[in-house]
Amino acid sequence: MLSRFEGRRVLVTGAGSGIAQGVALRLLAEGAQLVAADVNEAGLQSTVEATPADQRDRLHTLRLDVADPASVTATVAAAVEFLGGLDVLVNGAGIMRAGHTHELPLETWTQVITVNLTGTFLVTQAAIPHLIEHQRGVVVNFSSTSAFGSVPYMAAYAASKAGVNAFTHAIALEYVKKGLRAVNIVPGGIATGLTSGLDLPADADWSLIARLPGWIEGGALGKPEDVAGAVAMVASDDGRYMTGTELRVDGGALM
């Protein structure tokens, strides 16, 4: 195993499940000091249990609701205190809700935009002053193939992820002279709670959903660790020439 994160201080949101849990485990294995934050405390406990015993002293967990500005402020401050600063932020928290767009309740639209887009903004905003302190900060955000290739029944989700793309590009340029890099990871078809819980309408037309999943391994879903390896590369010095860009990890879904 590489050790690219020795001495690096990392905050991962959404780290109680799926892709971001995989990212947390990968960065810990590579030597990171890491705060895993999530609204789901049972999920955080599962992250602790999945962490090898000899790495647990470098892991700290915090309850965080990215949709709640007060929770974000308190959690980022607590994370910075535990870590003694911040070098890498991974905005992994996210939700997906599906439905016919003409029937989608405003509450559902607002919830998806609030968690995925506003949540990414709030955590990043609180973290930036710390990330730019040492001229080597990295923000990794989570977009989705749905923001690039059309996916039916997920208009709110796709719009939130397109917003994340633009947000990432904007901060990448705004803080480039402060040494901050910001990159979008674009997963597609990864086996997590998000994909297994996909609540498509009962009368969904599957011929419109042909892009999912990808093509690799006969169309099998990818694993969180497949995305974690890409995040580790981007967030480490191996990704030092990458900013304001996207990295697709989708089994070829968009090709």
Catalytic-labelled residue, pool 153, 157, 175, 241? 157
Q: Is 189 near ligand NAD (CB under 6 A)? A: yes
Residue 243 contacts by C-beta under 8 Å, 6 or more apart in sequence? 172, 176, 180, 181, 182, 183
Q: Is 226 near ligand NAD (CB under 6 A)? A: no
Measure Cα distances from 24 to 28, 159, 239 in Å: 6, 27, 18
Q: Is 163 near ligand NAD (CB under 6 A)? A: no
Q: Is 72 near ligand NAD (CB under 6 A)? A: no
> Which of 176, 254 has the CB closer to ligand NAD?
254
Residue type, 175: Y
Contact with ligand NAD (CB under 6 A) among 58, 62, 79, 94: 94
Q: Distance between CA atoms of 1 and 192, rounded to whole angstroms?
A: 24
Contact with ligand NAD (CB under 6 A) among 25, 27, 34, 65: 65
Q: Is 154 near ligand NAD (CB under 6 A)? A: no
Contact 140, 89 (CB under 8 A): yes
> Which of 64, 80 has the CB closer to ligand NAD?
64
Residue type, 34: L
Q: Is 14 near ligand NAD (CB under 6 A)? A: yes
Q: Distance between CA atoms of 97 and 253, rounded to whole angstroms?
A: 20
> Which of 77, 176 has the CB closer to ligand NAD?
77
Q: Is 93 near ligand NAD (CB under 6 A)? A: yes
Which tokens go with 123?
């955590």
Q: Is 195 near ligand NAD (CB under 6 A)? A: yes
Measure Cα distances from 189 to 24, 134, 215, 222, 248 in Å: 20, 36, 10, 6, 11
Q: Is 239 near ligand NAD (CB under 6 A)? A: no
Contact with ligand NAD (CB under 6 A) among 152, 163, 187, 214: 187
Q: How far apart are the first and last CA of the chain?
A: 31
Which tokens go with 89?
């932020």
Give me the DSSP letters along 219-240: GPPB-HHHHHHHHHHHHSGGGT
Contact with ligand NAD (CB under 6 A) among 20, 36, 182, 253: 20
> Which of 114, 178 has the CB closer to ligand NAD?
114
Contact with ligand NAD (CB under 6 A) among 34, 79, 80, 95: 95
Q: Is 92 near ligand NAD (CB under 6 A)? A: yes
157 is a catalytic site residue: yes
Taking CB under 6 A as the binding criterion, the range among 2-10, 62-70, 174-182, 234-242 that sits at the site for ligand NAD is 62-70
Measure Cα distances from 56 to 23, 85, 223 in Å: 15, 19, 23
Catalytic sites, residue numbers = 157
Which positions touch ligand NAD (CB under 6 A)? 13-14, 16-20, 38-40, 43, 64-67, 92-96, 115, 119, 142, 144, 187-190, 192-195
